Each structure stands twice: as structure tokens, then as C-alpha cells.
Amino acid sequence: MSSNEKSPVFRVIVDRSRCCGYGLCAQLCPEVYKLDENGLVFVDSEIIPGGMEEEAKEGAAACPAEALVLEEIQP
């Protein structure tokens, strides 16, 4: 990738109604995924911080309830 190309930017879509509180996402990527007092996932920002894309993808993929989806957005 040349220096003038930007890395893709991802956002996470959280469907809290699907979250069952397994917490695998937060174990794999605590910088992005947090758990509230009921053990349900939330994020401080839907934009994935640069450099955290792979961890965020792993956390979303580990969710047995499929409550997390990453999508690429234009920077």
C-alpha cells in the first residue's frame, strides 16, 4: 500500500437485542467491546480504532449470537 492510500475504516454495528452476554467479544478485544452491568455488549465508539481491525473482527466473529457486525466505511 502506498503512503497516500488510507487504510480502510470499519465501524461496528451492535445488535444488543441479540446479545446473550457470553462476553467472548470483550475477552478478545476489550479495547472495542465492553460489557454493561447486565453483561450485555456496548461500544464507546462505533468506529474501530486504527490498528484494532483484526482484533475487532475476531471479537465479532466469536459472538455465538451474531450480535456484532463490522462494515467497511469510506474514510
Res 34: pLDDT: 97
Res 2: pLDDT: 45
Res 70: pLDDT: 96
**Residue 2, all three cell numbers:** 502506498
Q: Reply yes or no on domain 9-73 having CATH 3.30.70.20.
A: yes
Q: For residue 27, what is the enclosing H or E element?
A: helix 24-28
| Residues 74, 51, 14: CA angle, nearest 5 degrees | 65
Taking the domains of the chain in order of start, what are their residue ranges? 9-73
Going from the first residue of the chain to its last (75 residues), give the mean pLDDT of each consecutive group of 10, the final group possibly shorter.
Answer: 67 97 97 97 95 96 97 84
pTM comes to: 0.87
Res 1: pLDDT: 46
Residue 55 sits at φ, ψ, to 5 deg, of -65, -40
